[in-house]
Amino acid sequence: MKFQTNNRLKKVVTKFSAKRTLLRVGMSLGMAAGVSLANAQQMTLMTGPQGGVWVPLGGALKGMWEKAIPGLSITATPGAGISNVRGVDEGKAHIGFANSNTTVDGLEGNPPYPKKVTKVCQLANLYPQYFQVVSLADAKINSYADLKGKTLVTQPKGNTGELLTEQVLKLNGLSYQSLAKVNFQAGYTDAVSMMKDGHVQVFTLGTTAPASSVMDLASARDIRLVPVDDKTMDSLKKANPGYNRLVIKAGTYPKQDKDVAVIGYSAHLIAACDLPEQTVYNMVKTMAANVDAMSAVNKAIAGLTPKDMAIDIGIPLHPGAAKFYKEVGAR
């Protein structure tokens, strides 16, 4: 009987010890889960309209950021340059793609922004955008002043390309009323069709170079790129440091036999200024280490360096981005 009693006692002790062990494991797992939840961070990334390069590029960034930063979860949503700036400023998003010129307009409170944006910081420059004024060769347009009395197609009202078209006209003593006709088209495809058919003589757009839409047009009609003059460029740059002079190299388009200077600005990433410094530092560091992955989506990003990413375009750097650029000697 004594032997049986001891066995029963051992069984009770063993069960009790097992329960205590399970309890400890459960508590440890619960604490670990709590830590994980505490460190998790949900972010919204505003990209661009469907069909544009910002959508797939946003997907690439989401993947690399979530892989590199434990606990980070990103939801990508459609957007556009100006609406993204407002979205980040108004707390509807944490990160967004934007264009340097219209982001600076937001900081200044210039139209179409109803007021100054105050909560938007610079994350990184990505690639240059070229404002291209493309005319039919037989229209004999050699300067912005020659646009007077011509027919023109551009983007819908409020888009970056359309806003810049209106600014360029004003700086040259012109307006939409000075033209024979203006068409505001939603897509580049329709604009190119109008040019091919001869319904309009000039097409303005802001995008990469070469632009597939301009290449399409050049396959059917002889075209000419209208260069920016010094006076217009200097006036734009003085009013808005987000602009700069870029050059579309000879041979970029069919029958383009010389370099053409154009108005440029940067496609860039913005972030809410109150995002955690270390998180943003890790995001920028991850981008710098994955340029090839980004350029696989958009060839214009190929060769991007931290120094390029850190160029001052008139927008305050997020402290996390500033920390990384300083660390690598880019700023």
pLDDT tens digit string along 250-269?
A: 999 999 999 999 999 989 99
Whether residue 35 is predicted with pLDDT greater than 60 in this model: the reply is no
Q: For the chain, give the number of residues.
A: 331
Dihedral angle at the C-alpha atoms of 84, 90, 94, 98, nearest 10 degrees? Answer: 20
In this prediction, residue 111 carries a pLDDT of: 83
300-312 pLDDT, tens digit each:
999 999 999 999 8
Tokens of 125: 């420059």
Direct distance between the N- and C-terminal alpha carbons of the chain, in angstroms, rounded to an integer: 84
User: If we measure between CA atoms, which residue out of 138, 173, 136 comes closest to residue 153?
Assistant: 136
* SS (HEC) of the chain: CHHHHHHHHHHHHHHHHHHHHHHHHHHHHHHHHHHHHHHCEEEEEECCCCCCCHHHHHHHHHHHHHHHCCCEEEEEECCCHHHHHHHHHCCCCCEEEEEHHHHHHHHHCCCCCCCCCCCEEEEEEEEEEEEEEEEEHHHCCCCHHHHCCCEEEECCCCCHHHHHHHHHHHHCCCCHHHCCEEEECCCHHHHHHHHHCCCCCEEEEEECCCCHHHHHHHCCCCEEECCCCHHHHHHHHHHCCCEEEEEECCCCCCCCCCCEEEEEEEEEEEEECCCCHHHHHHHHHHHHCCHHHHHCCCHHHCCCCHHHHCCCCCCCECHHHHHHHHHCCCC
77-86 per-position pLDDT tens digit: 988 888 899 9
Contact 202, 133 (CB under 8 A): yes
- Give the type of residue at 104: V
* Summary mean pLDDT of the chain: 87
* C-alpha 297, offset from chain centre: 13
Residue range 21-30, pLDDT digits in tens:
433 433 333 3
Rounded mean pLDDT of 291-300?
93
Q: If 0-12 CB within 10 Å is exposed, 13-18 middle and 19+ buried, where does residue 309 land?
A: buried
Q: How far is CA 287 from the centre of its chain?
A: 13
Question: What is the pLDDT, as a whole number, of residue 218?
Answer: 95
Give strand pairing partners of 129.
Answer: 265
> 198: pLDDT confidence band, cut at 50, 70 and 90?
very high
Q: Go through the domains of the chain in sequence order and give each one's CATH number.
A: 41-127+267-327 (3.40.190.10), 129-265 (3.40.190.10)
Cα 150 to Cα 192, 201, 211, distances in angstroms: 16, 7, 23
- How far is the C-alpha of 141 from the C-alpha of 118, rounded, in Å? 41
Rounded Cα distance, 99 and 130, in Å? 11
Higher pLDDT, 133 or 298: 133
pLDDT tier at 185 (50, 70, 90 boundaries)?
A: confident
